[in-house]
Amino acid sequence: MGELLREWREHRRLSQLELSIQADISTRHLSFVETGRSKPTPEMILRLGEHLDVPLRERNTLLLAGGYAPAYPHHGMDEPELASVRAALRQVLTGHLPYPALVINRWWELVDANSAISVFLDGCAPELLEPPINVLRLSLHSDGMAPRIANLPQWRAHLLTQLHKRAEAIGDQRLRELHEELSGLPGGLAVAPKHTDVVLPLRYRLGTRELSFFSISAAVGTATDVTVEELHIEAFYPADPATAEILRGL
């Protein structure tokens, strides 16, 4: 447990002194915990995990490594305990129509989506649409959305940057491997957005028309369940009036 704690502290670029001040414990005690000379209580582990902004999944791992039971539940999306969360997410997705919106998990796998997401799926290879659908792979693969993304180099650079940031922030090896895989896909070199641009749009070809979107990401702010904490809503909005009119007409 001490080794894991030290890894998280170093990952957050904090000294023992800085963490001990934040968590209101002595530097000596923190040092003893990290070297295994002192066995922390579960309350101490949770306090340190909170100050280090450790994800709930990894806080459970710290507790297990310390010889304690996990503190945070981890329910499946289809279990009764998450019925209210499922209903709330579905309400958000439905209320966002006629614009696309989807729910993804920690690894950018599709959990749910509204019917407008179909504008992105036409022409994608069936094997990329088999569950679990990885949204990033679907977006950047040459058999997926990539051939219809008009500004693929820019959008690819944006997605890879977001993936790298999340992989490093939560220390997830699976995300690092996904980043390595997707970085090897063709897509060209990105050109920096113009200084006059407000957002980087996703410019997507739908037949002979071009749609332009920007996206907003949201999460459940008070999650105490591992599954719920890892969910994100990605909502797409029209970046110009023409896109809004096309989507309303579909």
d(CA 170, CA 226): 13
Looking at the predicted structure, is the pLDDT value of residue 136 above 70?
Answer: yes
Looking at the predicted structure, is the pLDDT value of residue 193 above 80?
Answer: no
Residue range(s) defining the domain that contains residue 33: 2-65
* pLDDT category of residue 106 using cuts at 50, 70 and 90: very high
Nearest to 123 by CA among 101, 143, 97, 104: 143
Beta bridge partners of 206: 209
Asked whether residue 73 is assigned to any structural domain, the reply reads no
Q: For the chain, what is the domain count?
A: 2
Asked whether residue 71 is assigned to any structural domain, the reply reads no
Q: What DSSP designation does 149 have?
A: B
Share of the chain above pLDDT 70, in %: 96
Share of the chain above pLDDT 90, in %: 92
CATH code, domain with 53: 1.10.260.40
- Residue 230, CB-side half-sphere exposure with 13 Å CA sphere: 24
Q: Write out pLDDT tens, residues 209-220.
A: 999 999 999 998
Q: Write out pLDDT tens, residues 12-64.
A: 999 999 999 999 999 999 999 999 999 999 999 999 999 999 999 999 999 99
Asked whether residue 12 is assigned to any structural domain, the reply reads yes
Asked whether residue 166 is assigned to any structural domain, the reply reads yes
CATH code, domain with 146: 3.30.450
